[in-house]
Chain A
Amino acid sequence: MTEPLLSIKGVSAFYGSIAALKGIDVEIMPGEIVTIIGANGAGKSTLMMTICGNPQAREGSIIFEGRDITDLPTYEIMRMKIAQSPEGRRIFPRMTVFENLQMGAATAEGGDFRNDLARVYSLFPILEQRSTQRGGTLSGGEQQMLAIGRALMSRPRLLLLDEPSLGLAPLIVRQIFSAIRDLNQREKLTIFLVEQNAFHALKLAHRGYVMVNGRIALQGTGRELLERPEVRSAYLEGGR
Chain B
Amino acid sequence: MSAEKTGKSSVLSHALKDALIAGIVAFGLFILLLGFLTDDSRGPLQLRQRPVLLASIVGMVFVGRFLISLLYYNAPALRHWLGKLWFAICAFAARYKWQLVALMFAVAASRIYYAPQSWPLALIIVATTFIGVRFGFSAALLVFAVLFPVTFYSNPYYLGIAIIILTYVMLGWGLNIVVGLAGLLDLGYVAFYAVGAYSYAIIAQAYGWSFWVCLPLAGLFAAFFGVLLGFPVLRLRGDYLAIVTLAFGEIVRIVLLNWISLTNGPNGIGSIPRATFFGIPFNPTEAGFAATFGLEFDPTHRTVFLFYVILALALITNWVTIRLRKLPVGRAWEALREDEIAVRSLGINPTNTKLTAFAIGAMFGGFAGAFFATRQGFISPDSFTFPESALILAIVVLGGMGSQIGVAVAATVMTASFELFREFEQFRLVIFGFAMVGIMVWRPRGLVSTREPTAYLKERKKISVEHVAEGRG
Contact = CB atoms under 8 A, between A and B. Distances in A.
Contact of A132 (B341, B350, B453): B453
Interface residues of B, number: 32
A24 to B, nearest CB: 20
A217 to B, nearest CB: 28
Interface string A70-104: 00011110110001101000111111101100111
B347 A95 contact: no
Residue of B341, B350, B460 with most chain A CB atoms under a 10 A cut-off:
B341
Contacts of A99: 331, 453-455
Contacts of B453: 95-96, 98-99, 132
A90 B455 contact: no
B48 interface: no
B425 interface: no
A94 B457 contact: no
Contacts of B345: 52, 74, 78, 84, 86, 90
Contacts of B464: 137
B456 A92 contact: no
Contacts of B350: 75
| Interface size grouping (class) on chain A | 20 to 34
- B interface majority secondary structure: loop
A210 to B, nearest CB: 26
Interface stretch (B126-134, B139-147, B332-340, B371-379): B332-340
B303 to A, nearest CB: 41
Interface string B443-460: 000000001011111111
A154 B457 contact: no
B467 A132 contact: no
Interface in B286-342: 328, 331-332, 334-335, 338-339, 341-342
A104 B347 CA distance: 9
B35 to A, nearest CB: 42
Interface string B184-212: 00000000000000000000000000000
Contact of A75 (B331, B347, B451, B455): B347
B267 to A, nearest CB: 48
A104 B341 CA distance: 13
Nearest to A52: B345
Interface string B77-96: 00000000000000000000
Nearest to A86: B345
B463 A90 contact: no
A92 B335 contact: yes
Interface string A47-83: 0000010100000000000000000011110110001
Contacts of B338: 92-95
A132 B460 CA distance: 8
Interface string A152-181: 001000000000000000000000000000
Contacts of A84: 345
A-B pairs with the 10 shortest C-beta distances? A107-B347, A78-B347, A90-B342, A92-B338, A79-B347, A74-B344, A132-B461, A96-B453, A75-B349, A84-B345
15 contacts: A54-B341, A79-B347, A90-B339, A91-B342, A94-B334, A94-B463, A94-B468, A96-B461, A98-B455, A98-B456, A98-B457, A99-B455, A106-B332, A132-B453, A134-B467
Interface of B: 328, 331-332, 334-335, 338-339, 341-350, 451, 453-461, 463-464, 467-469
